[in-house]
């Protein structure tokens, strides 16, 4: 069984990160210190003349450095000459352009224990194995992180999109997104170097080839000056690794040279090659692995590695916070019976954990009604001998996928022997995505194909709606013929108190009031944002949850502002008997409400500059107005807005006029259904401008629709008719990520 099947990508990422984090922190700190060294050396090195040959440099060095024995070109590009002044060894830096001495050279001042700490944790071979295992853990962390990042962002096309969530989540994702490539390269190269050091892979010898002079001892021959040696003249200085001068006291000694391509010997008298040994594949792999891991020889890469290493502590700390928050919110069931003893079974598939809150409510309701209830994850689907009802709560993740832990659930269900016991499925998802509740539909299909009966047809809950869940529970209780009162208490994040600073009233419409409410931006500390307390960062189109007095169930409103605007703005219409709308419309400036933000990434606009078709009715224009407000790049936005009466409910009218004048919105097309000649409904305005709308869609426009569900269906029907001329449809636009709805 593969790691993915055994643990799941999320579990693999979590536990590897937690367990390897302490060692990774040590390696990160030492990595920063080690990566700084090649950067410093590179900045100290003068530029390398491209036309200079090794022969020319050797000739100049022979004149400027008496007793020169060896020239080394360091990975940083620095040229170091080793020589003997009498019996005293010395090393100097020389200018590659003219061979003049620039100053003395000393090996890196980096303490040796830092390198030993980085490579072996000061523990010898045991430490080398520890760093090798840490490198393997970092590779696993990188691969699993890439998979999770793609799933979170919705695929490769959305990889660079805005990151939502708590500050810890955003920091973790942003660092991972930026550092992922460098982390992969660093971990793979570290694994290679560790394997070579530990002798797990063959490593070719890197010594110079032994060369023997063809000139017999005592033969009449005269040393050629270095600059006149033909073999050296053919070697570019940029290819040099090491050049060893022949010993003046040994007439058989030769010039020995090591380049990027190999090593060989040159006759000191004729200046011709005596032999050549090409660099082996192992030597080249060693060099590349060392360069990729340390950046030695490529200072920009070394700088990138230093930044990466410096970010690892923050990366790890943010990951620990995310794990801690998930652990804190983990559901705990009281009186959870064994599966063999339970008459009601509840199985859950949840990516973020929210579906478990609904399972807790159901579990408590059945226990209160006298049932023995067992709740478990869906991949452990098993119907015990006493079971009479089975309920499946299945959330859909990303592009229609199962939650990570439930990837094998369908196969598990298919293997179970069928019994005449109803299995009822409740799906959770987000209508912004084309594959809304697709995993729940897959579960439903497999169950019915296998022959399991159902008490109720498949129901789909949008964005964890407590109201939809309550209606489903009422239907479930009616079907069971017994009272069932689940007390669902959403696992709400910490709320923030918002103070109303302004309100814009609109005339009553058939007994219904409405207003645009603006709240002050609350001050919050970095610590609060790190823990996900307070409002955090948000964009127009995200949702603000208001918890009205006397209720634990939040009501959600689409935001007409983003955090960059410096205020929180919503548009509210009174609903008869509506607890929250009544409370909000009764607020006066200075009054406050408790609220929190929930991201709505599926409704956000893409960052690419392309035409945007905004379609809204009534208070549904609020997030669309927010998009226009933040359209500082002047992307071509076209608004279709419908309401009943321009004198009573033309929301954001003065703002739209101002935004049209300054180019934030290209066109505004209105339709008013309750005034003569008003143009009917917003879908009628679309049909009237069908040619222009069709051209915008042909040009790649993205579409955002906000309003009531019947209005959204009418808009979809109108656009389907318009798109028929392009051999497309609203469904095709959704599959392309160009169409999203925010309906209520």
Which string of DSSP letters, residue by residue, matches 398-425? TTTBPPGGGTTHHHHHHHSPP-S--EEE
Higher per-residue pLDDT: 349 or 208: 349
Q: What is the model's pLDDT at position 307?
A: 74
Q: What is the model's pLDDT at position 606?
A: 83
Which residue reads 């005449």 in tokens? 420
Sign of CA dihedral 327, 328, 331, 333: positive
148-167 pLDDT tens trace: 777 666 566 666 666 655 66
Q: E strands along 389-495, which residues?
A: 389-395, 423-429, 459-462
- Altogether, the residues listed in the chain come to a count of 744
**One domain for residues 597 and 611:** no
Q: What is the model's pLDDT at position 399?
A: 63
Question: Confidence class of residue 518 from pLDDT cuts 50, 70 and 90?
Answer: very high
483-514 pLDDT tens trace: 888 888 766 777 888 999 999 999 765 667 89
Instruction: Find the CATH number of the domain harbouring 398.
Output: 3.40.50.360
Q: What is the model's pLDDT at position 637?
A: 97
In a domain, 32, yes or no: yes
Instruction: Find the CATH number of the domain harbouring 571.
Output: 2.40.30.10
Mean pLDDT of 607-632: 93
**One domain for residues 503 and 616:** no
The string over 430-453, giving b where at least 16 C-beta atoms fall within 10 Å of a residue's C-beta and e elsewhere, is bbbbbbbbbbbbbbbebbeeeebe
533-547, 552-566, 699-713: segment of lowest average pLDDT? 533-547
**One domain for residues 584 and 671:** no
- Angle in degrees, 0-180, between the axes of helices 112-120 and 125-153, rounded to the nearest 10: 70
What's the start-to-end Cα distance of the chain, in Å?
Answer: 45
**One domain for residues 354 and 248:** no
Determine the structural domain holding residue 730 and report its residue range: 605-743
What is the number of alpha carbons within 13 Å of residue 593 lying toward its C-beta?
Answer: 32
In a domain, 49, yes or no: no
In a domain, 64, yes or no: no
Q: Total structural domains in the chain?
A: 5
244-293 pLDDT tens trace: 999 888 888 999 999 988 899 999 888 889 988 888 887 778 777 777 76
pTM: predicted TM-score of the whole model, two decimal places: 0.57
In a domain, 701, yes or no: yes
**One domain for residues 360 and 414:** yes
622-641 pLDDT tens trace: 999 999 999 999 999 999 99
pLDDT at 7 over 50: no
Q: E strands along 323-478, which residues?
A: 344-349, 373-377, 389-395, 423-429, 459-462
**One domain for residues 645 and 735:** yes
Q: Tell me how far apart the 2 most distant CA atoms of the chain are, in Å.
A: 119
In a domain, 92, yes or no: no
Euclidean distance between CA atoms 236 and 42, whole angstroms: 19
Q: What is the model's pLDDT at position 395?
A: 92
In a domain, 389, yes or no: yes
pLDDT at 594 over 60: yes
Domain boundary among 578, 602, 626: 602
**One domain for residues 18 and 159:** yes
Domain boundary among 583, 602, 621: 602
pLDDT at 693 over 90: yes
Euclidean distance between CA atoms 737 and 154, whole angstroms: 10
155: three-class secondary structure by DSSP = coil
Instruction: Find the CATH number of the domain harbouring 694.
Output: 3.40.50.80
**One domain for residues 440 and 358:** yes
**One domain for residues 504 and 577:** yes
Higher per-residue pLDDT: 145 or 108: 145
**One domain for residues 169 and 317:** yes
pLDDT at 726 over 70: yes
Q: What is the model's pLDDT at position 216?
A: 39
**One domain for residues 17 and 161:** yes
Domain boundary among 446, 480, 514: 480
Count CB neighbours of 481 within 10 A.
7
Euclidean distance between CA atoms 593 and 348, whole angstroms: 34
Share of residues in the chain with pLDDT > 70 (%): 80
105-119, 227-241, 395-409: segment of lowest average pLDDT? 105-119
209-250 pLDDT tens trace: 444 444 434 444 677 888 889 888 888 888 898 999 998 888
pLDDT at 68 over 60: yes
Q: What is the model's pLDDT at position 619?
A: 94
**One domain for residues 164 and 309:** yes
Contacts of 709 (CB under 8 A, 6+ apart): 743, 744
Q: Where are the alpha helices (DSSP H) in 509-652?
A: 526-530, 579-585, 621-629, 646-649
In a domain, 167, yes or no: yes
In a domain, 11, yes or no: yes
Is residue 343 within 8 Å of residue 371, measured between CB atoms? yes
75-79, 164-168, 206-210: segment of lowest average pLDDT? 206-210
Is residue 669 within 8 Å of residue 685, measured between CB atoms? yes
């Amino acid at each position: 069984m593969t790691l993915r099947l055994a643990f799941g990508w999320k579990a693999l990422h979590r536990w590897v990160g937690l367990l390897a984090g302490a060692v990774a922190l040590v390696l990160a700190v030492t990595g920063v210190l080690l990566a700084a060294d090649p950067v410093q050396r590179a900045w100290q090195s003068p530029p390398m003349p491209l036309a200079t040959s090794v022969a020319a440099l050797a000739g100049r060095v022979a004149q400027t450095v008496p007793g020169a024995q060896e020239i080394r070109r360091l990975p940083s590009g620095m040229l170091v000459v080793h020589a003997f002044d009498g019996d005293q060894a010395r090393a100097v830096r020389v200018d590659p352009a003219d061979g003049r001495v620039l100053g003395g050279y000393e090996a890196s001042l980096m303490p040796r224990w830092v390198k030993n700490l980085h490579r072996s944790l000061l523990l010898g071979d045991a430490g080398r194995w520890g760093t090798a295992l840490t490198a393997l853990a970092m590779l696993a962390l990188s691969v699993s992180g890439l998979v999770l990042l793609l799933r979170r962002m919705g695929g490769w096309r959305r990889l660079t999109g805005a990151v939502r969530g708590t500050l810890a989540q955003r920091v973790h994702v942003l660092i991972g997104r930026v550092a992922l490539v460098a982390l992969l390269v660093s971990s793979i190269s570290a694994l290679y170097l560790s394997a070579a050091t530990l002798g797990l892979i063959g490593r070719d010898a890197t010594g110079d080839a032994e060369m023997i002079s063809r000139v017999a001892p005592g033969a009449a021959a005269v040393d050629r000056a270095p600059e006149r040696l033909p073999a050296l003249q053919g070697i570019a200085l940029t290819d040099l690794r090491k050049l060893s001068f022949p010993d003046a006291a040994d007439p058989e000694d030769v010039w020995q040279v090591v380049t990027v391509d190999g090593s060989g010997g040159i006759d000191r008298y004729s200046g011709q090659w005596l032999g050549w040994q090409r660099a082996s594949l192992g030597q080249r792999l060693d060099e590349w692995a060392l360069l990729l891991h340390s950046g030695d020889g490529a200072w920009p890469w070394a700088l990138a590695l230093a930044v990466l290493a410096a970010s690892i502590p923050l990366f790890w700390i943010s990951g620990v916070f995310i794990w801690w928050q998930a652990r804190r919110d983990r559901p705990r069931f009281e009186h959870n019976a064994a599966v063999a003893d339970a008459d009601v079974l509840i199985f859950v598939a949840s990516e973020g954990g929210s579906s478990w809150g609904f399972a807790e409510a159901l579990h408590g309701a059945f226990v209160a009604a006298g049932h023995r209830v067992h709740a478990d994850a869906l991949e452990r689907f098993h119907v015990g001998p006493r079971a009479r009802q089975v309920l499946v709560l299945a959330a859909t993740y990303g592009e229609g996928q199962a939650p990570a832990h439930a990837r094998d659930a369908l196969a598990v269900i298919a293997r179970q022997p069928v019994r005449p016991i109803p299995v009822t499925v409740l799906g959770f998802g987000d209508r912004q995505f084309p594959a809304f509740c697709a995993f729940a539909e897959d579960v439903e299909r497999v169950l019915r194909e296998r022959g399991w009966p159902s008490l109720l047809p498949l129901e789909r809950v949008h964005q964890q709606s407590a109201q939809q869940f309550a209606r489903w529970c009422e239907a479930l209780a009616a079907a069971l013929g017994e009272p069932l009162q689940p007390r669902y208490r959403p696992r709400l994040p910490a709320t923030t108190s918002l103070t109303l600073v302004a309100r814009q009233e609109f005339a009553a419409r058939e007994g219904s009031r409405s207003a645009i409410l603006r709240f002050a931006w609350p001050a919050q500390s970095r610590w609060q944002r790190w823990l996900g307390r307070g409002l955090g960062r948000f964009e127009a189109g995200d949702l603000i949850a208001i918890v009205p007095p006397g209720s634990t169930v939040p009501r959600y409103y689409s935001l007409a502002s983003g955090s960059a605007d410096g205020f929180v703005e919503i548009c509210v219409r009174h609903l008869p008997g509506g607890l929250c709308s009544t409370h909000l419309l009764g607020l006066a400036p200075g009054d406050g409400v408790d609220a929190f933000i929930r991201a709505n990434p599926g409704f956000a606009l893409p960052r690419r500059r392309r035409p945007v078709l905004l379609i809204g009715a009534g208070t549904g224009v609020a997030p669309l107005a927010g998009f226009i407000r933040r359209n500082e790049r002047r992307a071509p936005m076209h608004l279709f807005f419908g309401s009943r009466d321009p004198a009573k409910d033309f929301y954001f009218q003065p703002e739209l006029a101002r935004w049209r004048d300054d180019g934030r919105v290209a066109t505004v097309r209105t339709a008013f259904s309750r005034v003569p000649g008003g143009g009917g409904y917003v879908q009628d305005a679309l049909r009237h401008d069908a040619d222009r709308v069709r051209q915008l869609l042909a040009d790649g426009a993205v579409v955002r629709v906000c309003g009531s569900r019947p209005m959204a269906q009418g808009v979809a029907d109108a656009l389907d008719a318009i798109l028929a001329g392009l051999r497309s449809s609203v469904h095709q636009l959704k599959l392309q990520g160009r169409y999203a709805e925010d309906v209520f």
